[in-house]
Structure 1
Amino acid sequence: MDVAPDADADAEAVEAVDGVFLTQGAVGDDVSIQRFEIEPGETVPEHDHPHEQVGVITAGRLTFVADGEERVVGPDDTYVIPGGEPHAAENRTDEPVVGFDIFSPPRADPDWGE
């Protein structure tokens, strides 16, 4: 087993958009993982990327919006977003949402500002 240096527990969170904090985790040859926290009332604006995105919510409830449809996910719920599919996410609650996203191919150096 290899423990990647970028799997450091001291990795710093980046505020990608107001109230949305992303922390890059380990990056492998085929996948990468990031932790996210979305403050109450905050939104990840609609965006897309070529990576397939598979995730799990560990705390709170998050509303995904894709193709005019909404899906609410909560603790222990998982989801898949195909690569290239425009999507947004909204925390419509009074509690932070925390979760993890896995990307394939790896999203090793995302430009979260775009």
Structure 2
Amino acid sequence: MTAEVREHPYFPAPGVALHDNGIRIESYRREDTEVRLLFIAPGATLRSDESRREAHVGMVIRGEITATVGDVTKLMEPEHDVYVAPPGVGLSVVNTASAESVLLEIRRSKSGESYPAPSGYFLEPLESRKFVKMDVTFFLADWIELMLADIPGGGEMPYHKHSHEQIGTCLDGRYEMTVEGTRHELQFGATYFCGSQEGHGAANPHESLARSLNIFIPPRYHRVPQQEAEQETP
């Protein structure tokens, strides 16, 4: 008799799809949220119509793309620009570079939530600073916060809990992520999902730097009520 192998919800295996237009998609999902890595060939275009129900949030992590949200078009530079496309607003992206570009996109549709767009649909870095010995950069919208983090060799984010959902993807190097006592080493593209009040922490036991994108829903570090901020561990 073969034992049943159950996949942990914290570290889902990716689904992979190859489109005829030269776009390969790796998809990680937990419940109402999906994280996608889109490997976009030069000249390839991807469109999402206005009838979709999900909010889309995207950041270029390699190369460059031109994105159009509603009637606003922007050339997006890697790790600098973020689009926030609410349900009911058209979205299209095209790789205008001469080499493959990689887009990281979050899709979310959860009952009872609203997904307002920032003015102009695009975000730029809000703040860069040191945080628990890491160099971090924040991007902020009303309902979502993104944090780019450099985890130095030997660096660690202590194990903690908070009420905000947290999702993260490894962008460079490798590091160990622990969620509710389950440890997993993340390399490029690997994604974790951490629900409200699920304990989690990260450590980089290697000599080389690791880089990650961490997503908080709702925003945590710039919109947390003072009382909650005093009670919670960073």
Q: TM-score, normalised by structure 1?
A: 0.80
Deviating beyond 4 angstroms after TM superposition, the runs of 4 or more aligned structure 1 residues are none
* One-letter code aligned to 2:187: G
Query: Residue 98 of structure 1 aligns with which residue?
Result: 211
Task: Indicate the structure (1 or 2) with the bigger Cα radius of gyration.
Answer: 2
Higher relative contact order (CA 8 A, sep 6+): 1
Say whether 1:8 aligns with 2:125: yes
How many equivalent residue pairs? 108
Per-residue CA shift, 1:10-60, capped at 9, x if unaligned? x42x22213x222111x2222111100100011111111211111111101
2 CA distance for matches of 1:86 and 1:43? Answer: 15
Conserved in 1, the CA contact under 8 Å of 2:125 and 2:138?
A: no
CA distance in structure 2 between the aligned counterparts of 1:80 and 1:41, rounded to whole angstroms = 23
RMSD of aligned alpha carbons: 2.2
Residue 62 (structure 1) aligned with residue 179 (structure 2): no
Is 1:17 paired with 2:132?
yes
Among all aligned residue pairs of Structure 1 and Structure 2, give the percentage whose two residues are the same amino acid: 24
Note the C-alpha offset of 1:8.
Answer: 3.1
Specify the code of the residue in structure 1 equivalent to 2:160.
H
1:43 match: 156
Inter-partner Cα distance in structure 1 for 2:125 and 2:155: 27
Residue deviations 1:63-100 (CA, integer Å, cap 9, x gap): 01233321111111111111211111100111111011
Q: Determine the structure 2 residue equivalent to 1:89.
A: 202
2:125 corresponds to which letter in structure 1? D
Amino acid aligned to 2:131: A
Q: Tell me, which stretches of 5 or more residues in structure 2 are unaligned? A: 1-68, 70-119
Provide the C-alpha distance between the structure 1 equivalents of 2:164 and 2:202, rounded to a whole number of angstroms: 17
Measure the CA separation in 1 of the matches of 2:221 and 2:182: 29
Tell me how far apart the structure 1 counterparts of residues 125 and 180 of structure 2 sit (CA, whole Å).
36
